[in-house]
Structure 1
Amino acid sequence: MSGGMSPGMGETPLLAVEDLRVDLPLEQGTLHAVRGLSFEVGRGETLCLVGESGCGKSLTSLAVMGLLPRRAKRSARRLSFDGQELLGLSERRMAALRGNRLAMIFQEPMTSLNPAYSIGDQLEEALLCHRRVGRRQARERAVHLLERVGITAAGRRLGQYPHQLSGGLRQRIMIAMALMCGPELIIADEPTTALDVTIQAQILHLLLELKREMGLALVLITHDLGVVARVADKVAVMYAGEIVESGSAVEIFGNPRHPYTRGLLSCVPVPGRTRPGEPLGSIPGIVPSLVGSLEECGFRERCALAQAACRRPVPLHRLEAGRAVRCVLADPAGAPA
């Protein structure tokens, strides 16, 4: 399994992604937004995809869900959910999975909820589409989940519209909507970005509580390393459309091996170690253009350790079990993953 991002021995992964690519045709050429991504998520696991804005995290989630823009081209050697190959699946069969066994929480609930429909209509729709239940049962399920995600007066909220609710309430409703059919996997695309810090903590706590209670697998997309440290079982660090380092959260935070991962961690204050007023680290330069081919390490121009070998394509090297790094400084004995 490329990148070493795999469940326990003998287990069949719930989500398996191998050599995923997403290309977007533009006037100036083809934008290779996601370039050869591979990872696996086991049942009940939390995988965090982390990286700065524009590295391809959100497009990866949309590719898995089959929600890419019409002009985007998706390809992969393998893209399967619970053993079922998603590539080539008809839209009707994909729709039967989406919102049912496979759900997504989007980054901005105000643009994800339909302003023309009440909260109740939007919550009940998923259950009515995927289950043989009546309107009354769907309403009872909606009320139960609204209460479960911490919304008071849940019955009254069903008649309200998105614009009548705060950002925190809308995000809780998006979580309840994702849970309506009891999915096995939830992809959460930066679910706390649009919220203030206090509400962010509440939403994260709620997601983790629900994950443990319901035995969900979770793919959490974020650029917040503080969030990753609190919730992740496994971490995949993305840069310029590729995974540059992967491993367990303990390994990534305790012994980062890629210069980009080290740079990201240096930007985060550490309680008890970072003194007040002490400048934090930064990563100089900008992300390279992904239009056309990139025949070198994507981080080369920003890396203080760059050398001549970085001008060639760098494979993902497998280190110890579960670890992989895309860097010429990786253990030379490590076989390409």
Structure 2
Amino acid sequence: MALLEIQNLTIDIPTSGGLLHAVRGVSLSLERGKTLAIVGESGSGKSLSSLALMDLLPRRAVRRADALRFNGVDLMCATERQKQDLRGNRMAMIFQEPMTSLNPAFTIGDQLCEVLLRHRKVSRTEARDRAVMLLEKAGITSAGTRLGQYPHQLSGGLRQRVMISMALMCEPDLIIADEPTTALDVTIQAQILRVLRDLQSEFGMAMILITHDLGVVARIADDVGVMYAGRLVETGPAAKVFTTPGHPYTRGLMDCIPTPGRTKPGERLGAIPGQVPNLVEELRGCAFRERCGQSRSACGESFPDLWLADDHRVACLSGQSAENAA
């Protein structure tokens, strides 16, 4: 049985201009110990999909799903007490910006220990010892001293390591990492990714990695889900999606990445023309068709189902027609 199962997740948010269809029919699953990367442009619904799992959506947002199950628990029917017992305990989240996620009024030690004291029957000394151990595993030196410091006294890279340690305090089954390397320089990014990968392997956790950086995906993910305008347009093993991308949007994202040894200094990189459609409107057909060089009239009639193409799934009528013709 999959650790996480999502079927037909939709998220609508009322706005002054109408109903925003932020996430539209997302379905995916995740096995224990595996890493699923969800990629796409800003506003594609990546972060909202993950917040829906923990029921941390904006107050006015409306969440619906045919199934939303975590480790056998129906998250759509869970009581508030059940959800509180899951959050930070069996599932944890590393938020995008640690400076705004950590409380500036409390020390690092207080915030780390609070997680374990809330969910486990342990003494404060035991909680402190585990906090020190996890900070050290996350690559923070003088971990015992760091417990007495406040978030503003740490660099961005150290704060992100603290967030990783906090997420691991209760040895969760699932970690959701929302853009964990945003605003960090390349060297620190590589260090953070290595820490995540090593700790995941040691503790046997599943992980959802939310990012727009395909280079990050290539280094850490087992499977990939590509999102566009609130929908999944391609899913499958990372190696397959990278070597044989089936959706025009995925190929467009790949073309935007400089290739070592092939992209010359100063050479113009690829770009996807046009703009993401307005999700307040009622969309028909494929939302990418206005930016796609392969679109045709049928693309505006209905959104294609994800169909199997070279061991991964693609939602594209053009590719499906080519496959049928072959």
Tell me the TM-score normalised to structure 2 length.
0.97
* Separation in 2, partners of 1:148, 1:250: 29
Given candidates 83, 99, 103, the residue that maps to 1:110 is: 99
Given candidates 305, 309, 325, the residue that maps to 2:298 is: 309
Structure 1, residues 242-276: CA drift from partner, whole Å, max 9, x if none? 00011111111111111000000000011122222
Aligned residue in 2 for 1:45: 34
What's the CA shift for 1:330? 2.7
Structure 1, residues 138-184: CA drift from partner, whole Å, max 9, x if none? 11111111111111111111111111111111000000000000011
Identity across matched positions, percent? 62
Aligned residue in 1 for 2:5: 16
Aligned residue in 2 for 1:7: none
Structure 1, residues 184-231: CA drift from partner, whole Å, max 9, x if none? 110000000021111111000110011111111110000001111111
Aligned residue in 1 for 2:284: 295
Aligned residue in 2 for 1:182: 171
Aligned residue in 2 for 1:201: 190
Aligned residue in 2 for 1:243: 232
Structure 1, residues 272-319: CA drift from partner, whole Å, max 9, x if none? 222222211100110000003101210011111111011112222321
Contact persistence 2:246–2:309 (CA under 8 A): no
* Separation in 2, partners of 1:92, 1:317: 36
Aligned residue in 1 for 2:77: 88
Between the two proteins, the alignment pairs up a number of residues equal to 324
**Structure 2 unmatched runs, 5+:** none
What's the CA shift for 1:132? 0.5
AA aligned opposite 2:228: Y
Aligned residue in 2 for 1:65: 54
Aligned residue in 1 for 2:87: 98
Contact persistence 1:316–1:324 (CA under 8 A): no
Aligned residue in 1 for 2:16: 27
Residue 250 of structure 2 corresponds to residue 261 of structure 1: yes
* Separation in 2, partners of 1:155, 1:277: 47
SS in 1 for 2:113: helix
**Structure 1 unmatched runs, 5+:** 1-11
Contact persistence 1:192–1:200 (CA under 8 A): yes
Aligned residue in 1 for 2:124: 135
Relative to structure 1, is the Cα distance of residues 334 and 293 closer, same or farther in structure 2, using a 3 angstrom cutoff? farther
* Separation in 1, partners of 2:270, 2:322: 31
* Separation in 2, partners of 1:127, 1:276: 50
Relative to structure 1, is the Cα distance of residues 334 and 306 closer, same or farther in structure 2, using a 3 angstrom cutoff? closer
* Separation in 2, partners of 1:65, 1:185: 11
Aligned residue in 2 for 1:169: 158
AA aligned opposite 2:165: A
Relative to structure 1, is the Cα distance of residues 125 and 14 closer, same or farther in structure 2, using a 3 angstrom cutoff? same
What's the CA shift for 1:334? 7.8
SS in 1 for 2:29: strand
AA aligned opposite 2:238: A
Relative to structure 1, is the Cα distance of residues 92 and 334 closer, same or farther in structure 2, using a 3 angstrom cutoff? farther
* Separation in 2, partners of 1:212, 1:274: 34
Contact persistence 1:34–1:242 (CA under 8 A): yes
Residue 200 of structure 2 corresponds to residue 211 of structure 1: yes
* Separation in 1, partners of 2:309, 2:41: 26
* Separation in 1, partners of 2:28, 2:95: 21
Tell me the TM-score normalised to structure 1 length.
0.94
More displaced, 269-278 or 113-122? 269-278
Contact persistence 1:237–1:243 (CA under 8 A): yes
